[in-house]
Structures are given as structure tokens and as C-alpha cells.
Structure 1
Amino acid sequence: MEITGIISAIFIGIAIGGLGRLVVPGRQHISLLMTMLVGIAAALVGTFAASIIGVADTDGIDWIELALQVGLAGVGVTALSNRSKAHH
């Protein structure tokens, strides 16, 4: 993977993390850095899952892949937020 691919993956992951945080109701108790890392991981896992089920390469916007990524980010944000809240 080239440096431009890595940089674009980071920006997409940040956006996915932000969207994942938006779909989770209430206040999340995790940092912006953790949100970005969750987003990057969710983007990678969501792309992998979309390619397995055959919806990653469609014409136009891959809505199912995007939904998988945002859903995974929401799950990750919720899990980390609940874990963080339990320690307070």
C-alpha cells in the first residue's frame, strides 16, 4: 500500500469513527483519538466483510459497505464507552 492509500484510509477511518459516534445515543466517554482508531479499524473490518459477502465493488457508492463500517464503528464506540464508564 502506498503512502497516499494509507493517508486516505486514515481520513476515511476518521470519518467512519465520527459517523459511528453519531449513531450511538447519549454521551460517549472515549477520547477523540480512540474514536479515530475505532473508525479506522471499523473501516478496515467493514471493507473486508463487504468483500467477503460480495458487496464491496459496486457501481457508485457502496452503501452496504458504508453501513457495515458505520455499524461496526458504533459497536466499537459503545463497547469502549461502556468500558470507560465502568472505570469511573
Structure 2
Amino acid sequence: MGICAWLVLGGIAGWLASIIKGTNAKMGMFANIATGVVGSMIGGWLFSILGGRGVTGLNLYSLAVATVGAVILISIVQAIRK
């Protein structure tokens, strides 16, 4: 997957995760992209451990994996901040 696809997938996944976790007003575009890209790595690692596939390209499955990873990342950051 190319860098542009990672950025697009990361941006959408980070944005969805910020809406799910209620942090959308606090995060900007670059934070959403960074959260989504790191979240896709976390989600891909987690899904591969559980027997699934990680991020496979620019598709709905990969978006779901990246969003789950981004939600986990935001949850960890919120727990550390408290």
C-alpha cells in the first residue's frame, strides 16, 4: 500500500475513532491522520495475533481494522492523561 493510501486510510480511521471516542473537537486533521496511521499498525498487529488479517489495502475491512486500532490508541492516551 502506498503512502497516499496510508494517509487517506489513516485520516478517515482517525476521524471515525475521534467521533467514536468524543474527541473530534479537540483533534485537527494532522492529529487524525497520525492517530489513524498508528492505529492501523496497532489494529493490524492485534488482528493478526487473533488470527485475522491486518490492513490489506484501501478497503472497508482495512478501514475497520484501522478504526479499531485508533480507538484503542485514543483510549490508551486518555487513560494516561488521567
The TM tier, using the shorter chain, reads 0.5 to 0.7
Quickly say closer, same or farther: Cα 1:26–1:6, change in 2 above 3 A: closer
> Relative to 1, partners in 2 of residues 1:26 and 1:51: Cα closer, same or farther, differing over 3 Å?
closer
> 1:19-62 CA deviation, whole Å, 9 max, x = no partner?
101212365322221111011110122112211211117xxx64
Distance 1:32 1:77, change over 3 A: farther
Task: Report the Cα distance in structure 1 between the residues aligned to 2:34 and 2:61, rounded to whole angstroms.
Answer: 22
* Structure 1 residue 13 displacement after superposition: 0.9
Counterpart AA for 2:52? V
TM-score normalised to structure 2 length: 0.64
Q: Percent identity?
A: 16
Asked if 1:20 corresponds to 2:13, the answer is no
> Which is higher, the Rg of structure 1 or of structure 2?
1
Q: Equivalent of 1:50, from 47, 65, 78? A: 47
Show the counterpart of 1:8: 5
Q: Secondary structure at the match of 1:55?
A: coil
Please list every run of at least 4 consecutive aligned residues from structure 1 whose deviation after the TM superposition is greater than 6 angstroms: none
Q: Which residue of 2 aligns with 1:70?
A: 67
Unaligned runs of 5+ in 1: none
Normalised by the length of structure 1, the TM-score is: 0.61
Query: Letter of the aligned partner of 2:28 in structure 1?
Result: S
